[in-house]
Amino acid sequence: MERIITVFGSSRPRENEADYEEAMALGQALGEAGFAVCSGGYGGVMEAVSRGARAPAQERMVLPRNFSSRRSIGGLTQKFA
């Protein structure tokens, strides 16, 4: 049975900010523990968690919301619209 963790959060944190770095560490820990990570697919916390979970065999899925013109992040293995 696949274990999936979904993370949604603010799009405001940027790389090298404390919240972004903490979210990236969370993503890495989840990936190393064998969880697939699912996020909203945009910047900030969602991007950081997905980046942190980038182990070669780790799944990164997104459930993007079309409420803005923001571009979703790259490096994802599945996208659900």
3-state secondary structure of 22: helix
pLDDT of residue 37: 86
Q: What pLDDT does residue 23 have?
A: 94
Give Cα 45 to chain centroid, integer Å.
Answer: 7
Structural domain of 13: 4-79
d(CA 67, CA 57) in angstroms, rounded, equals: 31
pLDDT for res 67: 46
CATH value at residue 39: 3.40.50.450
pLDDT tens, position by position, 13-72: 999 999 999 999 999 999 888 888 888 778 899 889 988 887 555 566 655 555 455 555
Greatest extent of the chain over all pairs of C-alpha atoms, in Å: 35
Those residues with Cβ within 8 angstroms of residue 33's Cβ, 6 or more apart along the chain or in another chain: none
pTM of the complete model: 0.72
User: Which phi-psi region, left, alpha or beta, contains residue 29 (left: φ > 0; alpha: ψ -120 to 50)?
Assistant: alpha
Q: Structurally, how many domains does the chain consist of? A: 1
